[in-house]
Amino acid sequence: MAKKNVVITGGAGFIGSHLTGRFLAEGFNVTVIDNLITGNAKNLQHLMNNPSLRYIQQDVSKPIEVKEDIHFILHFASPASPLDYLNFPIQTLKVGSLGTHNALGLAKAKKAAFLLASTSEVYGDPLVHPQKETYWGNVNPVGPRGVYDEAKRFAEAITMAYFNVHKVNVKIVRIFNTYGPRMRINDGRAIPAFISQALAGESLTVFGDGSQTRSFCYVDDLVAGIEKLLFSNLNEPVNIGNPNEMTILEMAQTILRMTGSKSKIDYRPLPQDDPKVRQPDITKAKTKLGWEPKILLEDGLKSTIKYFRENLADFVPASKTSASSK
């Protein structure tokens, strides 16, 4: 039987590279398209000798051309951390709009299934807790986070339009906070910032009083959920994340304990529009996909801390950046 062909935009990024490895291991041909604005070719280095992998360096906001048949397209191209989309606001909006349009056009032309990587950020600073897929969100479109939030909300809208008008087989995964190896230490998210600060003996930067909550999912669990959604018959958004909610201060304290660091906690003012709570309702994923996270927080953090210990020298110290609650 001929191998199925998968295209992953943003495949050199944190989550994209884990998806690339998963599909290669399962016998697919994988084409990664990434312009490396926030991705890193090193994330694919261990896979580059695999003859089933092809890498194309390109901005998907420009027209995408792939000659071969394509069976699945996973659209993960986008800056995804607060520092990234604050540094690249126009690129974030373009990849969410033009990039999604181009990827959907390719899916339509190739009669491929299309999976959009959306985000819990479509819920904004939620007034409903936990967040169900039926919640429409509380987003400030002109605030500093609006470029990412609204790019993803538009991406969801055009994805559903291609489903309704062109009958493209679409999937939308709303990804909640995810962590694991290959995160960039200096991308401004809480876990990599805390780990790098703890390992360097620096103070851990906590915004506000640290009482804002997040729900952290290990990347292997997330990838398993995404794959189940891709091969399902669902065509509406599905939350994939870990519903075990904790405060940012609790996460900082956990990382101090697990790294054995004597670092202190440095409290800073809370950024504008920073969500106060974040917890997925995963009822749909459990009932429709048979998926729920399995990896315990401490087990996932052990692997993540190990990765950062081994790669710390490759990154800018977290003290040179500013962390976020994301």
Residues acting as catalytic residues:
148
C-alpha span between 76 and 90 (Å, rounded): 17
The DSSP annotation for 190-235 comes to: HHHHHHHHHHTTPPEEEETTS--EEE-EEHHHHHHHHHHHHTSS--
Mode of pairing for the β-strands spanning 72-75 and 53-56: unpaired
Which of 151, 167, 91, 142 has the alpha carbon at shortest distance from 117?
151
Which of 100, 70, 5, 84 has the alpha carbon at shortest distance from 40?
84
Inter-helix orientation angle 297-311/248-259, to 10° = 60
124 - beta bridge partners? 138
217 - beta bridge partners? 178
Environment class of 313 (CB within 10 Å of its CB; exposed 0-12, middle 13-18, buried 19+): exposed
Which of 216, 218, 189 has the alpha carbon at shortest distance from 299?
218
